[in-house]
Amino acid sequence: MYEVQRGSRGVIGTSVMNHATFGNHLLDALPREEVGRLSAHLRRVFLHRGQILASPGDAAEFLYFPIDALLWSWTTTTGAERPTSLLTTGRRGAMSLDSLLDLPSTHGNVAVLSPGSAWRVARTALESLSRAIDSPIRRMLTRFAYASFAVCAYRLACNSEHNVDRRLARWLLFIMDETGKPEASLTHQQIADVAAIRRPSVSLAFSDLQRRGIVRVHHGLVQILNRERLERETCPCYTAIRVALEDALSGESLSELSASG
């Protein structure tokens, strides 16, 4: 009998987990055949802090599947002093979907927030691989695009309803989930920009978490010392976002499960 592992939501079959070798959840959830077609076009790269990957109006040259790098896209359309965060993603996602969605160019800036590795595929290769509307990679990335839309909506709702402490806890958990590490190399200003929280409020919230032994912040390194307690500090939006991202993975896993009988 086929064994299925269930998380809080979503379904991941063991056959999918067996070829989970990329370290990016989207790639690892693709059917074997699609991985075979794609792997020749994937190149592992190291992304440096602050590296600019795309600017508004560019046709993004590559699609990135982060492993432990954290990528960020933002806009300055409000004219405000600080940037407006659009999408932050790591190993549970991909960055620069405009080629897949047949958009001529990207709308936001894309940069590396926290350094690390990623797989990248050239736009031209992806266009050829995903030409069929029902190709697994296209279906997967379309589901991720929808999940990203849901995540934006949850974030907006959270920003208007929940206090800074809970939102910061949500962001820290999110970042750890995206990088797969209990620590991240991020400054207070970077977290303030990504989380849409004023920098003095970030520092105050960090002081409180640090005093209580939940996190440690030292020389630009944020370490989670007690994840369980941090989860108790956050709001339900953290789980809503996690489930939206898990659901983006479930389709191909389910189709492979049914194909395997």
Residues interacting with Zn ion, by CB under 5 A? 158, 162, 235, 237
Q: How far apart, in Å, are the Cα atoms of 11 and each of 29, 157, 250? A: 10, 27, 6
Least distance from C-beta 144 to Zn ion, angstroms?
22
Name the residue nearer to Zn ion (CB basis): 119 or 154.
154
- Cβ–Cβ under 8 Å, residues 71 and 79: no
Number of Cβ atoms within 10 Å of the Cβ of 130:
24
Q: Spell out where 99-189 has E strands.
A: 109-114, 116-122, 183-185
How far apart (Å, rounded) are the C-alpha atoms in residues 49 and 70? Answer: 9
Strands 70-75 and 109-114, bridge-based pairing: antiparallel
Name the residue nearer to Zn ion (CB basis): 41 or 162.
162
The identity of residue 204, as a single letter, is L
Name the residue nearer to Zn ion (CB basis): 158 or 214.
158
Least distance from C-beta 94 to Zn ion, angstroms?
25
Name the residue nearer to Zn ion (CB basis): 191 or 235.
235
What is the separation, in whole angstroms, between the first and last Cα of the chain? Answer: 9
Least distance from C-beta 169 to Zn ion, angstroms?
9
Least distance from C-beta 166 to Zn ion, angstroms?
6
Name the residue nearer to Zn ion (CB basis): 151 or 237.
237
Length of the chain: 261
Least distance from C-beta 26 to Zn ion, angstroms?
25
Neighbouring residues of 215: CB distance < 8 A, sequence distance ≥ 6:
172, 206, 209, 222, 223, 224, 225, 230
Angle between helices 164-179 and 136-161 (to 10 degrees): 160
- Cβ–Cβ under 8 Å, residues 255 and 13: no
How far apart (Å, rounded) are the C-alpha atoms in residues 194 and 174? Answer: 11
Name the residue nearer to Zn ion (CB basis): 162 or 199.
162
Least distance from C-beta 234 to Zn ion, angstroms?
7
